[in-house]
């Protein structure tokens, strides 16, 4: 992956920036846009050049169909265009999964070699489907082809989101240079956010991933897990995916700022949510937006009675789970969240007058929400239902009161309460406990990066969130020598750690 290569950091990005800033400073607006298109296509081709033809073909066909749909307002053309996009996605992402299930359920003997998933196909397919639907409704008039290409393939958002919308990106490409923030400020904000995101990924997410991988690999091999091992692995993955996705989201927004382009907010402290509805307003925000406007509402939304509303919610989340991966565990994860949302909406309906603002009520709500999220992540991460069942079984085994044998020196008095001390195979003791505890403090009580840099409004959509400055852990971004020195240390630490970096989790979706 390009993000895992020093080529990206030390060759591609500087060249791209230097060329773009040169064109911008000389007021070459259209050449600067064209230059970004070329850089974005080179970025995509670096992963596998043969798929460059796929994304270019997809862009060309969808642009032509979009213009045709906008002029004719024909549902027939729209249907054909959407089917073509979904067919491409189905072939590359779901063909092997479909064949496997046909063979299993109907005793067929079909064979199909596993197909390599093209980079970002889920993201650029959804973006273009939204464009086609909006073209049918007359919302995409007189769109320049080069702007459209950049809208689809702009490299900071191409690989793992956000799923950008044409209405928020295309106007920025048409802005004159004098309307944009000064270049020096763009660079300062962009690099700050980029390296903060890189630090989250390579230092925090990859460090905690060691413990989650240990537990989930053991479950894949059929090993039984005790209560602390199971919860240790589940919490480790819960934190890993948080800092992985949060880190990438920061990096994407930071890279956009380097080029004077604001990307939409895609992640906003989701583990602080007091219910599942709020969680989905904070986690993968642009995916939630797409599911709402292009699946849930077309299905009928909440316009056809409570039962149909819950059905539409359930179907939408099932499809959201399937979007994340071609596997029944992903479908089950989506189903769980569909059930969570139905229960949440039903509870709000039944107790709509019971808006208890007391702190203990909110705390219980947040803890319960977080526990449900952790439970669902087990199925998202596990490679099979058998592995997920072993972990869940361990998490629910509250009667299995055992502790690691190396804790016996300090906590030996607990033997009098019936606690046993045994060797733990899939738990790494004090270091794992402390790292998990510190990261939980951060996700629950610290401001996120967008709140730290709230004065600069570095992302689109921040106005939808009430920025909270009342945090137990307080930080505020104010340019100074101390801040610059601290960011330099973080950047160097993150760059040096890139030698061992793992792929971003959302690359595979």
pLDDT in tens, 339-352: 999 999 998 888 76
Examine the domain organization and report whether 216 and 261 are in the same domain: yes
Report the chain's mean pLDDT, rounded to a whole number.
87
Residue % of the chain over a pLDDT of 90: 54
Co-location of 360 and 241 in the same domain? yes
% of the chain at pLDDT higher than 70: 90
Residue 327 domain flag = no
End position of a domain, from candidates 145, 180, 215: 180
**Coil vs helix vs strand at 446:** coil
Phi, psi of 325 (to 5 degrees): 180, 150
| 158 part of a folded domain | yes
92 and 219 share one domain: no
| Preceding peptide of 162 cis, ω within 30° | yes
Residue 115 lies in a domain: yes
Out of 166, 324, 337, 345, pick the active-site residue.
Answer: 324
- What pLDDT score does 323 carry? 93
Helices (H) and strands (E) in the chain, counts: 24, 2
Flag whether 14 is in a domain.
yes
All residues at 6 or more sequence positions from 102 whose CB lies less than 8 Å from its CB, including other chains:
108, 110
Q: Is residue 348 part of a domain?
A: no
Rg (CA), the chain: 24
How many domains does the structure of the chain reveal? 2
Whether 59 and 191 map to the same domain: the answer is no
Tell me, yes or no, whether 127 and 254 share the same domain. no
Give the residue-averaged pLDDT of 31-35. Answer: 90
Alpha-carbon dihedral 188, 194, 195, 197, rounded to 10 degrees: 140
Query: pLDDT tens digits for 411-436?
Result: 777 777 777 777 777 777 778 889 99
pLDDT score for 475: 65
Same-domain status, 198 and 173: no
Residue 421's domain comprises: 186-267+356-508
Residue 392 resides in a domain: yes
For residues 196 and 176, membership in a common domain is answered with no
Q: Please, which pLDDT band fits residue 195 given cuts at 50, 70 and 90?
A: very high
Q: Is the pLDDT of residue 2 over 50?
A: no
DSSP letters along 135-202, please? HHTT---S--HHHHHHHHH-HHHHTT-----HHHHHHHHTS-GGGSPPHHHHHHHHHHHHHHHHHIII
* Beta carbons of 319 and 291 less than 8 angstroms apart: yes
Residue range 68-125, pLDDT digits in tens: 999 988 899 999 999 999 999 999 999 989 898 998 888 888 888 878 888 889 999 9
CA 352 – CA 346 distance, rounded (Å): 10
Q: Tell me if residue 104 is catalytic.
A: no
Please indicate, yes or no, whether residues 108 and 8 belong to a single structural domain of this protein: yes
Looking at residue 140, its pLDDT comes to 87
Q: Is 314 within a domain?
A: no
Q: Does residue 147 sit in the same domain as residue 257?
A: no
How sure is the predictor about 3, in pLDDT bands with cuts at 50, 70 and 90? very low
Domain boundary among 141, 156, 180: 180
- Residue 231's pLDDT band, with cuts at 50, 70 and 90, is very high
Domain shared by 262 and 410, yes or no:
yes
Nearest-CA neighbor of 394 among 373, 366, 416, 425?
425
Decide if 292 is inside a domain. Answer: no
Helix (H) or strand (E) holding 402, with range, is strand 402-404
On whether both 103 and 136 belong to a single domain, the answer is yes
β-bridge mates for residue 264, sequence order: 460
Nearest to 443 by CA among 300, 311, 288, 247: 247
- Give yes or no for a contact between 391 and 234, defined as CB atoms under 8 angstroms apart: yes
Q: Which of 163, 180, 197 lies at the terminal end of a domain, its last residue?
A: 180
Distance CA 461, CA 463 (A): 5
């Amino acid at each position: 992956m390009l993000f895992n290569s020093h080529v990206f950091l030390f060759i591609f990005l500087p060249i791209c920036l230097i060329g773009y800033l040169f064109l911008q400073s000389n007021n070459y607006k259209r050449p600067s846009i064209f230059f970004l298109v070329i850089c974005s296509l080179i970025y995509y081709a670096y992963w596998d050049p043969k798929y460059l033809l796929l994304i270019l073909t997809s862009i060309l066909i969808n642009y032509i169909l979009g213009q045709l749909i906008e002029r004719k307002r024909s549902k027939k053309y729209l249907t054909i265009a959407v089917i073509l996009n979904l067919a491409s996605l189905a072939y590359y992402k779901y063909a092997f999964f479909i064949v496997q299930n046909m063979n299993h359920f109907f005793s067929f003997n079909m064979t199909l070699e596993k197909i390599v998933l093209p980079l970002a196909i889920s993201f650029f397919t959804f973006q273009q489907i939204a464009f086609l639907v909006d073209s049918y409704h007359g919302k995409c008039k007189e769109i320049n082809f080069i702007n459209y290409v950049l809208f689809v393939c702009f490299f900071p958002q191409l690989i793992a989101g956000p799923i950008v919308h044409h209405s928020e990106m295309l106007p920025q490409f048409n802005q004159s240079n004098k309307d944009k923030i000064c270049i020096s400020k763009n660079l300062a904000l962009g690099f700050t956010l980029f390296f903060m995101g890189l630090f989250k990924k390579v230092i925090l997410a990859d460090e905690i991933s060691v413990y989650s991988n240990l537990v989930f690999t053991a479950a894949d091999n059929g090993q039984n897990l005790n209560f602390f091992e199971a919860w240790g692995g589940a919490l480790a993955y819960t934190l890993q995916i948080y800092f992985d996705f949060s880190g990438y989201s920061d990096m994407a927004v930071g890279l956009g700022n380097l080029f004077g382009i604001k990307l939409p907010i895609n992640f906003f402290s989701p583990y602080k949510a007091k219910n599942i509805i709020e969680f989905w307003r904070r986690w993968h925000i642009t995916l939630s937006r797409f599911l709402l406007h292009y699946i849930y509402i077309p299905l009928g939304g909440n316009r056809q009675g409570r039962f149909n509303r819950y059905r539409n919610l359930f179907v939408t989340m099932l499809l959201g789970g399937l979007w994340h991966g071609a596997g029944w565990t992903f479908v089950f994860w989506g189903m769980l969240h569909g059930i969570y949302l139905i229960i949440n909406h039903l509870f709000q309906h039944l107790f709509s007058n019971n808006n208890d603002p007391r702190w203990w009520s909110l705390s219980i709500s947040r803890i319960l929400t977080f526990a449900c999220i952790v439970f669902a992540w087990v199925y998202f991460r596990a490679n099979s239902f058998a592995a997920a069942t072993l972990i869940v079984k361990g998490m629910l085994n509250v009667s299995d009161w055992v502790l690691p044998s190396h804790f016996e020196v300090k906590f030996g008095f607990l033997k009098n309460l019936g606690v046993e001390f045994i060797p733990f195979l899939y738990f790494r003791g004090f270091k794992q406990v402390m790292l998990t505890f510190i990261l939980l403090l951060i996700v629950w009580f610290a401001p996120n990066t967008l709140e730290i840099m709230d004065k600069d409004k570095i992302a689109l959509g921040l106005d939808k969130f009430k920025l909270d400055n009342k945090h137990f852990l307080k930080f505020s971004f104010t340019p100074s020598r101390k801040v610059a020195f601290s960011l330099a240390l973080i950047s160097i630490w993150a760059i040096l750690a890139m030698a061992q970096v793992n792929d971003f989790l959302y690359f595979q979706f």
